[in-house]
Every structure is written in C-alpha cells, then in structure tokens.
Amino acid sequence: MMGHFRIIVLSLVIMASIQVLGSAEGHKTAVPAIFVFGDGMLDVGNNNYLPSDAPQADYPYYGIDFPGSEPTGRFSNGYNMADFIATIPFKYQVKNFNDTVSQMEANLGHQKLSKLLAKSLFLISIGNMDLSVNIWRVLRYSRKPSPFNIPNTLSSYKAIIMQLYGLGARKFGIINIQPLGCQPWVRQNLENNVNCNDSMNSLAREFNDGLKPLFSNLSSQLSGLSYSIADFYAFSNATFMNPRAYGFVNIKSTCCIPPCTPEHEPPCQNRKQYWFWDLSYTTERAAKLAASAFYDGPARFTAPVNFKRLIKMK
Ligand SMILES: *[C@@H]1O[C@H](CO)[C@@H](O)[C@H](O)[C@H]1NC(C)=O
Ligand SMILES: *[C@@H]1O[C@H](CO)[C@@H](O)[C@H](O)[C@H]1NC(C)=O
Ligand SMILES: *[C@@H]1O[C@H](CO)[C@@H](O)[C@H](O)[C@H]1NC(C)=O
Ligand SMILES: *[C@@H]1O[C@H](CO)[C@@H](O)[C@H](O)[C@H]1NC(C)=O
C-alpha cells in the first residue's frame, strides 16, 4: 500500500533482469553475486545472496507474472513478504550481511572473499520509506512529521555505503526514488485525480539531487569504489510524459483495486499497459522496462555509467 514496498519488487525484478540480460549476451556475467538492500526491507542473510556461479533464475521472486487466471499473483504475496521483512531495519540488514560475510570468509578464505565482494553488485534503494511513510502518516493521521529531513537521510545513506565498503563492497547500483507524488494512493487523495502532488515530488527530487554529490564524494574518498545512479524518477517521468511511446495506456491508476483478492473485482486485463499494479507497486512490465533502461539504456537514465558498464569495471 505504501510507496516503500514497491521499490523492493522493482529491485528484485531489476536483479532478475540484469541476470537475464547478462546471460542473454552469451557469456558468463561479470558479476559473481548481487546483494540487494531495499529500503530497509530485504533480508540479505537469506534470499539475496546468489552463489558465485550465478546467473540463477530460481530466486523466488523471479518471474513475477500475472497470468489472467491468477490475479493475486506475486504481489499479494509480496505484501506479506514486505511486511515481514519491514521488521528488519536497515542497520540489521547490514548486520546480517556482516554475518554472511563472516560465514563466507570461513568457507572461501579472506582473499577469495574479497575478490568476490569487490566484483559483486550491491543494488541499493533507500529513501522511499522515510519519505513515503512520513508523508503518509501526516496525511492519514494528521501526525506531525517525524524528525525526518533530507540531509539526515542522505547522511545515513552515506554511513551505510561506508559500512558496506568496509565489509568489502565496491560496486554500487543505486536506484533513486520515484516521483512520490504520482503514486495512485496519492493521486486518489487529490481532487481531480489527474495531477501529481508537486510538493511530494519536489521532496523526491531534493533527495535525488543529493545523491549525486554524495556518491561523487564517496568515490573520491574511498579507493576502488564505483557506482551507477539509476534515475528511476526520470524514467518514471519520461513514461508519464509519453505513456504510449512506452506501450502504456494507464500511468495514473491501479490495475488491481485493493484489496486485490479473488473475492473482489478482478484486476485489469491489459496489465502490460498499466504502470501501476496497485496503489503503489509497479507492474512487472514497468519494472522490466526500468531495469533494462538502467542496465544499458539511454545515458540520461544512469550516471555516471550504466549498470552494464559498472559490472564490467575492474
Ligand atoms: C562486523 O562484525 C565484526 C565482528 O565479527 C565487527 O568487528 C564489525 O564491526 C562488524 N561490522 C559492521 C559494519 O557491522
Ligand atoms: C501534497 O502532499 C503534502 C505532503 O507532503 C500535503 O501536505 C498536501 O496537502 C498535498 N497536496 C494536496 C493537493 O493534496
Ligand atoms: C563533498 O565534498 C565537498 C568537499 O570535500 C564538501 O564541501 C561537500 O559538502 C561534500 N558533499 C557531500 C554531499 O558529501
Ligand atoms: C517531468 O518532466 C517534465 C520535463 O520534461 C517536467 O516539466 C515535469 O515537471 C516533470 N514531472 C515531474 C513529475 O517531475
């Protein structure tokens, strides 16, 4: 329901797509493992470590699909999973990862492990949660904004990257945050249900604008660190500005009306033409398009390099 869950699914589909895109090139992917840290919600101890002879496509979230006969699909399950994982704050993810690293070190030895980690891709998206949850609380419950601000969120981001670097991570794929004010749950609160909430979008932009200097500083301070910032905001906006060019007929409302279960109204038939699956998750197709744009799409969606280049960097 809230915006922050969505990015998890996006990350996972991106991950799946990178694997697929990588293997489709007819040679082994250059990346031995992909670790996903999504909005403080992914359990990196279990599901997110792919062994060194990747690519693998048997990750439980691969192939999220919505065949007409199974309208609940993965996303309902996704809610439970996200709910469950959302109990794990980000700092514990780093801790879990640290534990995983210790185990791997015991198995592989220090040098092999360092090599493996340095070549691995760390796919990260945080910020959606802090921003969306806080805004949502204010809107729904008229709560005062919690002590949240963008500089603080950015400096936690920085601290997390430095910790992961300390543990051996070198390549970071960063997905910035979406136009928060264009999610259906936000639009449906607006009078005409047509426009986006500009103040929410400008929060998202402010946060995203902070990521670039943050990472360029980090890469000048931490030797061997490389990164790609994927502009999910710009990609979403490009689609919103010209939906038909991307094959969408609806970028505003949800395909599946909550609670989105078989006892209720079935989801839209033309799911491939919808950007939003429900009030804030994207459809699989939207996520796949974003993933391929970030992997090796037009330069305007990634900076300073795309994920493909990042993965191949020494
Ligand atoms: C990882 O664990 C080691 C001990 O096993 C500890 O010294 C180190 O501070 C931990 N690092 C992080 C980032 O949690
Ligand atoms: C847009 O979102 C903000 C919260 O950031 C809220 O205060 C404002 O009322 C919303 N605007 C509209 C038109 O709903
Ligand atoms: C980047 O580094 C410069 C110079 O060291 C500093 O002035 C600036 O505040 C830093 N910016 C960020 C976002 O860390
Ligand atoms: C999307 O981009 C256009 C410029 O191409 C801009 O005018 C518009 O405000 C952007 N929309 C959002 C939601 O940022």
Percent of the chain with pLDDT over 70: 62
What pLDDT score does 160 carry?
82
Nearest ligand to the CA atom of 96: 1
Q: What is the DSSP letter of 17?
A: H
For residue 173, the one-letter residue type is G
> What distances in angstroms separate CA 215 from CA 114, 225, 226, 276, 296, one per listed residue?
22, 9, 9, 30, 20
What pLDDT score does 23 carry?
42
**CA dist., res. 130 & res. 145, Å (int):** 11
Q: pLDDT tens for residues 196-229?
A: 988 889 888 988 999 999 999 999 999 999 999 9
pLDDT at 61 over 70: no
Stated as kind and residue range, the H or E segment containing 224 is: none
Domain boundaries in the chain?
Answer: 34-311
Nearest ligand to the CA atom of 105: 1
Q: Which residues pair with 302 in a beta bridge?
A: 230
Q: How far is the CA of 112 from the centre of ligand 2 (A)?
A: 51
Stated as kind and residue range, the H or E segment containing 57 is: none
Contact predicate 204/178, CB 8 Å: yes
Q: Which residues pair with 174 in a beta bridge?
A: 124, 229
CATH of region 34-311:
3.40.50
Ligand 4 close to Cβ of residue 73 (< 6 A): no
Q: Is 25 exposed, middle or buried (0-12, 13-18, 19+ CB in 10 A)?
A: exposed
What mean pLDDT comes out for the span 49-70?
31
What pLDDT score does 44 carry?
27
Q: pLDDT tens for residues 75-93?
A: 322 222 222 223 645 566 6
For strands 226-230 and 302-303, give the pairing. Answer: antiparallel
Q: pLDDT tens for residues 220-258?
A: 999 999 999 999 999 999 999 999 999 999 999 988 887
Closest by CA to 167, choosing from 64, 75, 95, is 95
Closest by CA to 117, choosing from 32, 182, 8, 202, is 32
Q: pLDDT tens for residues 93-126?
A: 677 778 888 888 888 899 988 988 898 888 787 7
309 pLDDT tier (thresholds 50, 70, 90): very high
How high does pLDDT run on average in the chain? 70
Cα 181 to chain centroid distance, Å, stands at 17
The atom of ligand 1 lying closest to the CA of 95 is 14
**CA dist., res. 40 & res. 102, Å (int):** 21
Contact predicate 131/204, CB 8 Å: yes
What mean pLDDT comes out for the span 8-28?
42
Q: pLDDT tens for residues 277-295?
A: 777 777 778 877 887 888 8
Rg of the Cα atoms in the chain: 19
Nearest CA to ligand 1 atom 3: 98
Q: pLDDT tens for residues 138-171?
A: 555 555 555 457 787 788 788 888 988 998 999 9
